[in-house]
Every structure is written in structure tokens, then in C-alpha cells.
């Protein structure tokens, strides 16, 4: 359940869940990039550039599957945490709406069953929307970056092969360049796995909190009056305008806003950027990528 009384404890609880999910996605992405590198190397041995580029076949689809498999359980967990404190109020709001239109229900079901059904509805609704927007966009961007990196590395492998051909047979030069291609691909792609895991898990967790809270507040007919609070990681790595960083998450720490209003994250130039939640992908890359702040819900504005 969301801990509204102790922001630091809530931050640590959320980050344990996020870090565990990020680690699973990282491992899967490491394996995926290794698959691309190995396939490209074998393809280069077989048919040079054309063979190497065949390594991209199915890459985007596999990335999408990795993200869905890793992020869906995280969405369910964070949605359930939000429900834990607000589900009964939401049910009361739903029942009031129904009774206004159709009268009292003589066959009212068990409250726990109703809460479970409401949770499944909210999780399903959010997951469907998140998969169609964030995950689709993210997997497309990952595939496009992989394509660019592979194209560049293959071109370098061709140059290396031409250079090696002066001192060895063409077949030997091609084999040596293919081995070097795999190493080069891993060198440029593997580091991306960590960023993909950290950013996707963090962003999804915060979006799930806000999305679930907004849905519950809507169905409760205003009986759930929630605010959101920005909580930084609290260490020396948190970006800060006083250190010359482009955005100030240290300065945003503790800021409280109504659910539907954005946080205002200070910029180094003295302006602010509107951000709905930590890691919001609609905000600037310098504000969102590798962000480790979290958002907690609170019932009071102060």
C-alpha cells in the first residue's frame, strides 16, 4: 500500500520494486543485443553487409515482448498499491452512480470481490493504453537506434576487411572482420540495456500510480481528493541546478500538486518545465532519462 505518512520509506519501497523489474529487463535486453551481435557476425561471414543487416529481423517485436513481460507485473503491483488505500471509496462512488440511475442493487456482491474486479478493470485499462503508446513508441525508438548502430558498425567492418585483405586472404579478412563486428556491436549496444531497463521500469511505475489514482478519483465522484508529492532519491547523484545540471530534482523534492496538475521542475536557466510525474516521457530527455525520483500520493495539499 502507498505509504502517505513517511515519504522516504515510500520512496525506498517503490525503488526496490522498480530496481528488481529494471534488472530483469536489463538481463533480457543484454540477451537480445547479444543475439543481434551474434547474428550480424554470422551474416557478415555469409554475405557481408546484406547478411549482417538480416540480424534486425524480428528485433523490434522481441523488444516489445521483453518490455510487456517485464512491465505488466509492475503495473499490476503499483495499481494494487494505490487501490489499497482508496478502493473502498471508489466502490462507494460507483455504487452511488448506479443507484442514482437504477436504484439499489438487491443482489450486491461481496465487497472484496468487487474490489478485485475493479482492480482488474483498472489494470487492464491502463496496460492496454500504456502498451499502445509508451511501449510501442519505446520499442520503435530502440529498434531505430539499433539499426543506426548496426549500419555504422557494418560499414566499419567492411573498411577493416578491406584493410586486412592486404595481409591475409579474403576469406581470412572477412572472418576477422566478422569477429570484430560482433565485439563492436556489443560495445555500442550493451550499455543501452541498462538505460532501457532503468528508464522503462521507473517511468512505468510512476505512470501507473498517477493513472490509477486519476481513475479512482474519477469513479469516486470526488470522494478521493488526492495530491501527489515529488520525492527525490536523496543522494549526491540527484540532478540539481546548483551543481550546474540542466534540471533540478533536488529543488523539486517535496513539491506537492493536485493529481491533474504538473510538477514544475526548475531549469538551470531559471524557467521551469511542466512534468506530470518523475520520468514523464513527454518531458525533456535531460529531465526524464535515468530519473530515480518517485511520486507519492497524499490526501492533503500541505
pLDDT digits (tens, 9 = 90+) for 68-113: 999 999 988 888 888 775 545 544 444 444 344 434 444 455 555 6
Query: Who's near 88: CB < 8 A, 6+ residues apart?
Result: 111, 115
Q: Is residue 290 classed as helix, strand or coil in its secondary structure?
A: coil
Could you tell me the pTM of the whole model?
Answer: 0.85
pLDDT score recorded for residue 226: 74
Q: In angstroms, rounded to a whole number, what is the distance separating the alpha carbons of residues 225 and 263?
A: 17
Task: Give 7 or 72, the one with higher predicted confidence.
Answer: 72
**Beta strand pairing status for 272-275 and 227-231?**
unpaired
Amino acid at each position: 500500500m502507498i505509504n502517505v505518512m513517511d515519504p522516504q520509506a515510500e520512496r525506498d519501497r517503490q525503488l526496490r520494486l522498480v530496481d528488481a523489474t529494471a534488472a530483469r529487463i536489463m538481463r533480457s535486453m543484454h540477451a537480445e543485443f547479444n543475439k543481434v551481435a551474434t547474428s550480424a557476425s554470422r551474416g557478415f561471414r555469409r554475405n557481408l553487409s546484406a547478411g549482417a543487416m538480416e540480424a534486425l529481423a524480428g528485433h523490434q517485436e522481441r523488444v516489445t515482448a521483453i518490455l510487456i513481460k517485464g512491465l505488466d507485473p509492475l503495473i499490476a503491483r503499483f495499481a494494487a498499491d494505490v487501490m489499497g488505500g482508496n478502493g473502498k471509496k471508489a466502490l462507494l462512488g460507483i455504487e452511488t452512480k448506479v443507484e442514482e440511475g437504477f436504484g439499489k442493487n438487491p443482489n450486491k456482491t461481496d465487497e472484496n470481490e468487487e474490489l478485485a474486479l475493479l482492480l482488474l478493470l483498472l489494470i487492464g485499462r491502463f496496460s492496454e493504453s500504456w502498451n499502445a503508446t509508451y511501449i510501442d513508441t519505446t520499442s520503435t525508438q530502440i529498434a531505430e537506434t539499433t539499426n543506426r548502430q548496426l549500419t555504422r558498425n557494418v560499414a566499419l567492418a567492411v573498411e577493416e576487411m578491406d584493410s586486412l585483405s592486404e595481409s591475409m586472404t579474403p576469406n581470412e579478412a572477412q572472418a576477422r572482420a566478422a569477429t570484430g563486428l560482433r565485439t563492436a556491436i556489443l560495445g555500442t549496444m550493451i550499455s543501452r540495456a541498462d538505460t532501457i531497463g532503468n528508464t522503462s521500469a521507473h517511468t512505468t511505475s510512476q505512470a501507473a500510480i498517477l493513472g490509477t489514482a486519476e481513475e479512482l478519483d474519477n469513479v469516486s465522484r470526488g470522494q478521493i481528493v488526492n495530491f501527489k508529492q515529488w520525492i527525490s532519491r536523496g543522494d549526491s547523484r540527484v540532478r540539481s541546478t546548483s551543481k550546474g545540471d540542466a534540471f533540478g530534482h533536488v529543488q523539486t523534492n517535496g513539491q506537492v500538486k493536485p493529481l491533474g496538475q504538473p510538477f514544475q521542475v526548475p531549469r538551470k536557466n531559471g524557467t521551469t518545465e511542466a512534468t506530470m510525474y518523475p520520468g514523464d516521457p513527454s518531458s525533456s530527455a535531460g529531465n526524464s532519462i535515468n530519473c530515480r525520483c518517485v511520486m507519492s500520493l497524499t490526501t492533503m495539499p500541505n
